[in-house]
Structure 1
């Protein structure tokens, strides 16, 4: 049963469609595979689109938080996707509610923190994940840690944010995504300043 579940969680549930078993428990699982696949797909969709409510509604099983799906290339998890597409609320929700997601890697051995390191957002997503416990020393298949990708000058010939987006067919969104993240960072800083001002004067 666990092996069958792993197949679904690895985004390969299609291999199980139409299979039959004489064991009632296994057959019950097989009958539910289409439903599991549909919910995992919805989780990935929500992580990309930025809908926290839709993600929460589809995440009725903890394992779905680390599940992979064809919609997200190269074995990316919902956390990888949320980081890549700049959805802070979903990143915080997944990483804090399901901390195991921060250790799951894509097909190249990269965690979501590796992805965050490539983003030119003044370290926003990188800091969010490290504050929630992401491992800065995790090594990908090229032997690089997330810290390596933070230095754009040294890592640009290995992996860039643009290249990651292109895998998802979204390279045209880079400027918009970075602009949105910059605005979020600005607003967050301004709010912090205002709160600090009132704290000093009250």
Structure 2
């Protein structure tokens, strides 16, 4: 199977065909190596991996050999067919020549409950009308409703209003935000699951927070897509203690866990430990042996004589580099020091030349002035006579 995966990934069609003819392989075997943008470990089939990597020729060949496009895969806490996951996570798939073949073989009844989400994804990713028509022709319900009772049209309008509301919160425009805040919209979340209260806390809009809590106190319990309430957001702020206290007054729980099992009060300790000064760029380069990055930084103006810490001792960066045995960087710094010395000598020589020129000019000026005074004296004598 590993040889087949490798051959498919390097688009070696001949080798793929040879392996498939020679060996009896389960084409729907799943691979655990995919981590998606939301942090989920996804068990994609070989066909799924080919389609995620836009290896469309290999994907068509695999489908012709019997690879199952409706194979269910685990995504988070739910099971969904592999084609549905691909449609959501690979925007270019819909624009590819393989899409029509994929939809013809897909069982769209498997995603009936997700039809609004599918169409909304199409709207946000600007799918071509041909793709939507093909989905409809193959059985996708364009007028269906999701678990909240929204059609795709409703979803688009709601998300537009939510975006506008959150933008006014970001701008600290409470007057405009109040126009969009209702018993419904206060609890509607954006695509990341963030409510209006989440956004108000995120941008530290204290008067907006107070208004939302007073008008819609139950918003303290809303969780985003990572299981975090507004309290988690407040605990991550550098100066959010007053916001935390306010949230507690309205029933927020400091011990609540998010999906990463990080309690809000633990997050507070994590993010608010500012007793230590954050390390400088060159310190990070030293700690992680990033010689090329250090050279780049110094070439672009970072002071190479910056103080750093090595073995619990504070010293200048060049000395630390030498002690750390970073040979190439040490050679680079030595060259820079020599260049600095040469440049300094050149500068001093130029400065000396300028001073000599000024002195010569001053001497010449004094002589000229003396001659003028002498001439003036003669003129005055003649006049008196």
User: 1:38 Cα deviation (Å)?
Assistant: 2.3
Name the CA distance, whole Å, in 1 between partners of 2:181 and 2:240: 31
User: Could you tell me which residue of structure 2 aligns to residue 159 of structure 1?
Assistant: none
User: 1:13 Cα deviation (Å)?
Assistant: 8.1
- Structure with the larger helix share: 1
For structure 2, the 5+ residue unaligned runs are: 1-112, 124-131, 133-140, 275-385
Aligned alpha-carbon RMSD (Å): 3.3
Q: Which one is further off, 29-38 or 124-133?
A: 29-38
- Structure with the larger strand share: 2
Q: Which one is further off, 81-90 or 51-60?
A: 51-60
Q: 2:120 aligns with which of 14, 17, 23?
A: 14
SS at match of 1:151: helix
Which TM-score applies when normalising by structure 1? 0.57
Name the CA distance, whole Å, in 1 between partners of 2:196 and 2:119: 17
Q: 1:142 aligns with which of 253, 260, 280?
A: 260
User: 1:69 Cα deviation (Å)?
Assistant: 2.1
User: Could you tell me which residue of structure 1 aligns to residue 196 of structure 2?
Assistant: 78
Matches within 5 A, 1:47-196: 47-60=169-182, 62-70=183-191, 74-121=192-239, 123-152=241-270
User: 1:105 Cα deviation (Å)?
Assistant: 1.1
Residue 53 to residue 144, structure 1, CA distance change in 2 (3 Å): same
Which TM-score applies when normalising by structure 2? 0.32
Number of equivalenced pairs = 142
For structure 1, the 5+ residue unaligned runs are: 157-202
Show structure 1 runs of 4+ deviating over 2 A.
Answer: 12-23, 28-38, 152-156
